[in-house]
Amino acid sequence: MPIEFSKKLTAHDTPIPGVVLYDLPVHGDNRGWFKENWQRDKMVALGLPDFRPVQNNISFNEKAGTTRGIHAEPWDKFISVATGRIFGAWVDLREGPTFGAVFTAELDASQAIFIPRGVGNGFQTLEDSTAYTYLVNDHWSADAQGQYTFLNLADETVSIAWPVPLEEAELSDKDKNHPRLADVTPMPPKKTLVVGADGQLGKALRKLYDGDPSVEFAGRAEFDLSDEDAFTARNWKNYATIINAAAYTAVDAAETPEGRRAAWAVNVTAVARLARAAVDHDLVLVHVSSDYVFDGTREVHAEDEPFSPLGVYGQTKAAADAVVSVVPRHYIVRTSWVIGEGTNFVRTMASLAERGIEPSVVNDQIGRLSFTEDIAAGIRHLLQTGAEYGTYNLSNDGEPQSWADVAADVYELSGKSRDAVTGVSTEEYFKGKSPAPRPLNSALGLSKISASGFRPSDGQVALAAYFEASEVSRRG
């Protein structure tokens, strides 16, 4: 069968999610033919994942009817015929609702197909002296074979109509003895690793992803961010995403010599190591940023505002943002005034209210609370929807308030008078002390995260729900 020349580079979706069949332009004359088998820029522009192949393999089959598979490997593949023709069969062997879905097609040198990790592929040659080539985005190793998932070529459930009956085909003994679909253990997805999982945001992520075996949580005991060996010892090939919920947040202590070193170690050095792992292994890196990267002189801070940190903590967070921004697949989630499980401003004010204390609270710092439940939900939304990579502001919505306003809300929720809270300026509050400088306006613009399809809840509504759910008024 002659090759069809001069096709337009075209992508065709298949019944298996992520499996895409491509027509390739093949140019021929009396001397033979030439094709661009793999052209990154053109194919990525057409929608092919930028899967970063690292190894090229070629399989030669002397006789028609040679049959191989069905094997699902723990990496992505881009497969094309070099010479001859093949019948290809692909079966989704990944965990999920499309497990067992089948696609078959005949391929010649003018076609190629992209096969994601966990989709089983089998081939049967239709001509003598057929060879096919495939690019893979991980290096083959003997250890990797233990992660393969196999399906019997003759499985009755998927019922593949092989052109050459299997009893007449050339098969290996191993391929003859692979399990039927009912006995196949589906290939699990790559995991998400949450570091800093014992902090306020980490606890909210634990609650949100409770029962999801694909999400792994690591506190300091499981992943010490100060230990370089923790990064090199982990097998990053098993992961698809890192969520960095760890941070040094002692704003005032960061101005001391010891605090400065600790802040840079956790907020920058460790983040740079996470970024290196993400770049080297093509991972998505989610990093949580802060309103402290700005000086607070603008009424509303947009994602693209230039950095202008006032103190050491803000400087380390800005440096980390700059590091993470060079990771090809990243989400920087910028928050303000974080409230979650553990010691925080709301709990402190509730405790004061219960004890009948009438506090003086800063009234010239303006912003919005960011409840960890909403931050966690926003992170999951970005990952689940495959939102455009980049920076997203994420706080609760509503009219910006001062810390004194928030304190008055807490007093009111505690059944106390709002008048028990006295507003004072930042300068007056810290008189005689040497605090870290703070941005006076921390309100973050939320149009970008809203445009992605995620609408943060109103801050006062979220405060009332947090107050009731955590019984903060009774526990302090």
Residue 410 CB: number of other CB atoms within 10 A? 26
Per-residue tokens: 214: 């694909």
Active-site residues, by number, are: 71, 134
Q: Pick from 24, 22, 26, 27: which is nearest to 12 by CA?
A: 22
Count of C-beta atoms within a 10 Å radius of residue 177: 10
State how far the Cα of 158 lies from the Cα of 89, in Å rounded to an integer: 10
**Nearest one of 341, 455, 345, 439 to 394, comparing CA atoms:** 455
CA dist 320 and 275 (Å) reads 9
3-state secondary structure of 358: coil
Residue 255: Cβ within 10 Å count: 17
Q: Which among 421, 423, 297, 299 has a CA at the least distance from the CA of 363?
A: 423
CA dist list (Å): 379 to 87, 153, 373, 459: 42, 41, 10, 18
Contact by Cβ (8 Å): 251, 436: yes
Beta strands in 108-157 (DSSP E): 111-115, 119-125, 130-136, 149-150
